[in-house]
Amino acid sequence: MPTWNGRFILRAVEISEEEKRSGCYQVYRHADQADQLTSEDNYFDTAPSLVSMQDYAVVPPRNPRQWQVKLALVQPVWVTMGVFQLKARP
């Protein structure tokens, strides 16, 4: 289990209804540095990691980047994803 505070994550730009219901961000990839997440990360066929919205806030980096990602876990769908940083809530 990664230490989430300060991690950069790839997630959907818009919070989904599923995330609202579960109270968790859906994280498809994470890294120490924002530039480790690139548009080459554009296809996922596995379930995302879940991170508590109650424990962490998402903050866009200084140079926000977004791109289309294909999620193929159940029915293939394209989603606009972006890079964010997780910050622990006090």
pLDDT digits (tens, 9 = 90+) for 7-37: 999 999 999 999 999 999 999 999 999 999 9
Read off the pLDDT of each residue in 61-70 and give the average, rounded to a whole number.
Answer: 87
Of the pLDDT bands very low, low, confident and very high (cuts 50, 70, 90), residue 84 is: very high
pLDDT tier, 60 (very low <50, low <70, confident <90, very high otherwise):
confident
Per-residue pLDDT, 71: 93
pTM: 0.89
**Residue pointed to by tokens 């730009």:** 13
The whole-number pLDDT of residue 2 equals: 57
Residue range 58-74: mean pLDDT, rounded: 87
Residue range 46-60: mean pLDDT, rounded? 94
CB atoms within 10 A of CB 2: 13
